[in-house]
Amino acid sequence: MRPRHHDSPDPAPNAMIRSLHRMLHDVTDRNGSRRRTDVDDPRLLDDLPPLLMTTTAWLLMMTDLTSRPVEAGGVLIGPSGHDAVTHYVPDLTGHATGASFTFDHERINQTLRQYVPLGLDAKGIAHSHPSGCLTPSLGDLDFVFDCFATVSADDVERFYLPIVVGRRLFPYTVFRGNPLVTVCSQLILF
């Protein structure tokens, strides 16, 4: 253990979180351009695209993804023609390893077909990552790219890709115009 100097205070508990937010925000803003914003700037959240979610969908998602082994996932569903997420449906038949999760596409598509007559459609996927993997992987982005390729540009402009690590949620959005870039998002519960 390294001795501490008396005049060096303990790092603030939020220092690591603020550092992470700074790092994530430096990647890109909602327009796809890189720029730096000080984390103490109250306009920081203005630059982040919203991820709108009902508290019930959030609670179901967090309960599911924090109670199963890492690399579990589910589908985010909401009203057609709106970006809000109102439902979370876990994929209990997908294939998980310690480093990846493969959705059971047949079951998920069957589930989505039941929601379509109700005026609902898929908004994205949520899944868990191992400790330390706080951002979407290349495999995650390949999946999103394939999803964009299968639906019309008129139907889907954005794809939500929140990651759960431990008991924390890291919300991301991927936009059709730049499907290989993840944008840190602002979770808004309603």
In a domain, 141, yes or no: yes
Phi/psi of residue 185, nearest 5 degrees? -120, 165
pLDDT at 154: 81
Cβ-based burial of 135 (10 A; exposed 0-12, middle 13-18, buried ≥19):
middle
Q: How far apart are CA 184 and CA 27, in angstroms?
A: 8
In a domain, 56, yes or no: yes
Domain extent, residue 63, equals 47-189
In a domain, 155, yes or no: yes
In a domain, 122, yes or no: yes
In a domain, 159, yes or no: yes
Q: Residues 11-26: pLDDT tens digits? A: 443 444 444 444 444 4
Number of domains forming the structure of the chain: 1
Nearest alpha-carbon partner for 83 in 123, 24, 45, 111: 123
pLDDT at 28: 52
88 within 8 A of 59, measured Cβ to Cβ: no
For residue 102, name the pLDDT band (cuts at 50, 70, 90): very high
pLDDT at 33: 58
CATH number at 110 reads: 3.40.140.10
In a domain, 5, yes or no: no
Q: How far apart are CA 190 and CA 186, in angstroms?
A: 13
In a domain, 37, yes or no: no
Q: Residues 134-161: pLDDT tens digits? A: 999 999 999 999 999 998 888 889 999 9
pLDDT at 103: 92
pLDDT at 31: 58
In a domain, 39, yes or no: no
